[in-house]
A and B are shown apart, each in its own frame.
Chain A
Amino acid sequence: MEPDWIWGLVGGLLIGLGGAVYLLGNGRIMGASGIIGGLVDGSGRNTATERLAFLAAVAIVPIVLTPLYNIEITTNLTSNWVVVAAAGLLVGVGTRIANGCTSGHGVCGMSRFSLRGMVATVFYILAGGITVVLFRHILGVI
């Protein structure tokens, strides 16, 4: 069994390749929060089919690949639904206010050396790190 970081690198390359296809093919930035958010607030109405096709592929491909790798795919998500719902709300509000998430600001933004992408990435990683320390090690909730 190869170490996790090799699979991380290979998976990362695939994600980046996806971003490259979306950019060079459709001329658009592959940001998950923007693609979803445009469907929610109506700003992406003209490109709704393309957005839905992208999201459907994201959702279907992992489950299709699972049998090939003979591993069980699981999120290991906490069963505390209050935490899950609060987290979802924060992710939804935050990514739309900041106009990007891990894929948009992180992958697509930093790769074009965008200052906004880098600043956003520093802030969401710092906030995430502090949250894990606080809620896991001090409060023991997650």
Chain B
Amino acid sequence: MQILFAILAGGLFGAGLFVSGMTDTTKVKGWLDVFGNWDPTLAFVMGGAIIPMVLAWQLTRVSRPLAGGVFPPPPPHEIGHRLVIGSVLFGIGWGLAGLCPGPSIASLSYGGIGGLIFVAAMLVGMGAAPAIGNRLDRLAEPA
């Protein structure tokens, strides 16, 4: 059951990336390029994606996951150095290539060698992240 929902969700995600044009890095970079030929498409993608999710979060109040288990706990409020530094590093990489994790996985089927290099480097980065995060925590501790 969980596998079925995962395939359905991944399929919808992949279809959405394709239909919206987010598989094309020029559209992503176009959104980030406010001083160039600015492309607002990504804002519509983000806005469109948030609509069903707002409804879904409301439904979590009155139901349980169909495949069993429990819904995620309420989000923490803590705005720490990890959130800010991590998001800035992610944003720099996102701006450089025009790929974020979802579309990078999609690109494995059509993105050629470039997509492979990106995903391989991303996996290395994800493997190194826990150690880097711990180092950041130590640096952030008041001396």
Chain A residues with a Cβ under 8 A of chain B: 4-30, 32-33, 36-37, 40-41, 47, 49-51, 53-63, 65-66, 73-79, 81, 83-99, 101-103, 105-112, 114-117, 119-121, 123-133, 135-137, 142
Q: Do the beta carbons of B3 and A49 come within 8 Å of each other?
A: yes
Q: Which of B119-135 contact A (CB under 8 A)?
A: 119-130, 132-133
Q: Out of B10, B18, B106, B119, name the residue touching A18 (CB < 8 Å).
A: B10
Interface residues on B, range: 35 or more
Q: Which of A83, A84, A116, A137 sits near B77, CB closer than 8 Å?
A: A116
- Check if B90 sits within 8 Å of A11, measured CB to CB: no
CB distance from B66 to the nearest CB of A (A): 5
Q: Are A41 and B129 in contact (CB under 8 A)?
A: yes
A20 to B65 Cα, complex, angstroms: 11
Query: Chain B residues near A127 (CB, 8 Å)?
Result: 87-92, 94-95
Interface of A is mostly: helix
Tell me whether B90 and A98 are in contact (CB under 8 A).
yes
Using CB atoms, name the residue of chain B closest to A129.
B32
Please tell me which one of the listed residues B15, B55, B94, B121 contacts residue A20 in the complex, with CB atoms under 8 A apart.
B55
Choose one: B23, B40, B69; the contact of A5 (CB below 8 Å): B40
Q: Is the CB of A93 within 8 A of B126?
A: yes
Q: How far is the CA of A60 from the CA of B16 in the complex (A)?
A: 13
With both beta carbons as reference points, the residue of chain B lying nearest to A62 in the complex is identified as B18
Least CB distance, A135 to chain B, in whole angstroms? 6
Q: Tell me the complex Cα distance, A81–B111, Å.
A: 13
Taking the closest CB of chain A, its distance from the CB of B8, in whole angstroms, is 5
A103 and B98 contacting across the interface, CB-CB below 8 Å: no
Binding site for A on B (CB under 8 A): 1-3, 5-27, 29, 32-36, 39-57, 59-60, 63-72, 75-79, 82-102, 104-115, 117-130, 132-133, 136
Q: Select which of A15, A88, A126 is within 8 A of B104 by beta carbon.
A: A88
Instruction: Give B132's nearest chain A residue, CB to CB.
Output: A93
Give Cα A11 to B102, complex, Å.
14
Q: Is the CB of B19 within 8 A of A27?
A: no
Q: From residue B34, how far is it (CB to closest CB) to chain A in Å?
A: 6
Q: A8-B41, A17-B52, A119-B79 are in contact. Are A65 and B15 (CB under 8 A)?
A: yes
Give, as a whole number of angstroms, the nearest-CB distance from A55 to chain B. Answer: 5
B83 contact set on A, CB distance < 8 A:
98-99, 116, 119-120, 123
CB distance from B69 to the nearest CB of A (A): 4
Looking at the assembled complex, report how far the CB atom of A111 sits from the nearest CB atom of chain B, in whole angstroms: 3
In the complex, chain A residues whose CB is within 8 Å of the CB of B136: 97
- A90–B39 Cα distance when bound, in Å, is 24
- Cα-based distance from A73 to B112 in the complex (angstroms): 11
A9 to B22, CA, bound (A): 11
